A and B are shown apart, each in its own frame.
Chain A
């Protein structure tokens, strides 16, 4: 998808075109919700925070200026809100260590039960291993492997240097690998 298109939509939204903003929401709702879901481990919390992400974007619409990728703006806001959410939950004594809600099902692909069960099993193993990572490590892993952002873009989202992204990713993957091996998951 064209980034020019994204910023063109932003420009229209800045002019008060709510339909353009709606297009952006529809375009990015899934990745943002997914990001929040992997960070917060709850579909409901993920949707609430994702909503807040778009609300923030709307509030700061006038201040937005074209950057390399609009998604880096979105994930930057999502990161901050997720960290705030986790901090607030920890303060209230509701830790974030609970298992994820039931693993999401693919919407359009029809799979036979055994395939679906196998996929769910893999996802559960990966997620369990990811849960052992720090928030920062989980985020860089998600942004790189799920969203496909490059190191420069991840650095922008995480507000750190490119070298930090590189070392965090290396450490996150190594920890994930070791956890899967320790758990006896035959995935590698």
Chain B
């Protein structure tokens, strides 16, 4: 009994992708035409498989690597503009800033000129001092703040009013009670303990100067 030809299925059969390879195999045993075609296609496949690749020229992968390197954008910090211009400029700028900053500090220490800042000119202003003024006092020292209209018959010492201002400043920092404590009990250390380390340093120096002068 003859079965239908399988010519159209031979390609997939050769590739091992046929859905029914047993049926095709059986048919090939009994059909000379399909068997001949199967042999031809198999040979053909073999010839194509035997096609030889061209020789890879030496340096192929190196040429690709070079192209990749050229193609890859360098990190920002390695780009020529940055390394040749920006970095040297930044270093130069940093050096200049360093020199200027050092010079400024040295000059400040040598001359210590007073800045043109507002100062308290009345008791009212002293009680409710300007923040800038407070900053100035804390920075410069209580003895530098003149006050010519002290509300006291006693001889005013330089910095007397500044003590009030300082107490106000303390009140803003440690509260009224703490400020009062210093004022009434002169318990400076108790107050200082509640302050930040940097402030403690400043206040210690100010207080020391104040008491020395007083």
Contacts and interface: CB of A to CB of B under 8 A. Distances in A.
B44 A47 contact: no
Interface in A29-66: 29-31, 33-34, 37-38, 43, 46-47, 50-51, 54-55, 58-59
B52 A188 contact: no
Contact of B54 (A25, A43, A141, A151): A43
A123 interface: yes
Contact of A25 (B11, B49, B51, B64): B64
A104 B53 contact: yes
Contacts of B67: 51, 55
Contact of A107 (B8, B44, B55, B64): B55
B49 A146 contact: yes
A126 B48 contact: yes
- Looking at chain A's contact residues, the main secondary structure is helix
A58 B53 CA distance: 24
Given A169-B15, A177-B40, A146 B64 contact: no
Contacts of A173: 11, 41, 44-45
A54 B60 CA distance: 11
A54 B17 contact: no
B60 A169 contact: no
Contacts of B17: 150-151, 166
A18 to B, nearest CB: 7
A138 to B, nearest CB: 10
Nearest to B9: A170
Interface centre among B40, B41, B48 (most CB of A within 10 A): B48
Given A166-B12, A166-B17, A173-B11, A142 B48 contact: yes
A29 B65 contact: no
A103 interface: yes
Contacts of B11: 166, 169-170, 173-174
Q: Which of the four size classes fits the interface of chain A?
A: 35 or more
A8 interface: no
Contact of B44 (A55, A142, A180): A180
Interface string A9-24: 0000000001001100
Contacts, number: 109
Nearest to B47: A126
Q: Which of the four size classes fits the interface of chain B?
A: 20 to 34
Interface centre among B57, B64, B71 (most CB of A within 10 A): B64
A130 B45 CA distance: 12
Contact of B40 (A26, A50, A106, A188): A188
A127 B60 contact: no
Contacts of A59: 71
A3 interface: no
A188 B54 contact: no
A187 B52 contact: no
B47 to A, nearest CB: 5
Contact of A33 (B8, B10, B54): B54
13 contacts: A22-B61, A37-B53, A38-B51, A55-B64, A103-B52, A105-B52, A107-B55, A123-B50, A145-B49, A170-B8, A170-B11, A173-B41, A188-B39
Interface of A: 18, 21-22, 25-26, 29-31, 33-34, 37-38, 43, 46-47, 50-51, 54-55, 58-59, 101, 103-107, 119, 122-123, 126-127, 130, 141-142, 144-146, 150-151, 166, 169-170, 173-174, 176-177, 180, 187-188
5 interchain residue pairs of minimum CB distance: A34-B53, A170-B11, A145-B48, A104-B54, A25-B61
Given A106-B52, A123-B51, A151-B12, 17 more contacts: A21-B68, A22-B61, A33-B53, A33-B60, A34-B51, A34-B54, A55-B68, A122-B47, A130-B48, A146-B48, A151-B15, A169-B11, A169-B12, A173-B45, A177-B40, A177-B44, A187-B44
